[in-house]
Amino acid sequence: MVNYLSMTYPTKTFKLPTLEGISEKQMKVHLALYEGYVKNINLIMEKLEAVREGTLELDPYIVAELRRRFAFEFDGMRMHEYYFEQFEGEKGGSPESGLAKAAAEKYGSGEDFIMHIKEVAGSRGIGWVVVYKDPIGKTLHTTFVADHEVGQLAGLPILLALDLWEHAYMVDYIPAEKKNYIDAFFANLNWSVVEKRFNEAA
**What residues between 150 and 189 interact with Fe ion by CB under 5 A?**
163, 165, 168
Long-range contacts of 110-114 (CB under 8 A, 24+ apart): 114/186
Site track 36-55 with Fe ion (rule: CB under 5 A), x = hit: --------------------
Please give the residue whose beta carbon sits closest to Fe ion in the complex. 163
Gap between the Cα atoms of 166 and 182, Å rounded: 12
How far apart are CB 58 and Fe ion at their closest, in Å? Answer: 29
Is 172 within 8 Å of 26 (Cβ atoms)? yes
Shortest distance in whole angstroms from residue 51 CB to Fe ion: 29
Return the number of other C-beta atoms located less than 10 Å from residue 149's C-beta: 19
Would you say 21 or 110 has its CB closer to Fe ion?
21
User: Closer to Fe ion at the Cβ: 107 or 180?
Assistant: 180
Instruction: Pick the closer one to Fe ion by CB: 51 or 171.
Output: 171
- Segments in the chain forming alpha helices (H): 24-53, 60-85, 98-107, 110-121, 178-188, 191-200
Residues 9 and 115: their CA atoms lie apart, in Å, by: 35
Q: How far is the CB of 180 from Fe ion (least distance, A)?
A: 17
Least Å from the CB of residue 173 to Fe ion = 14
Binding site for Fe ion (CB under 5 A): 163, 165, 168
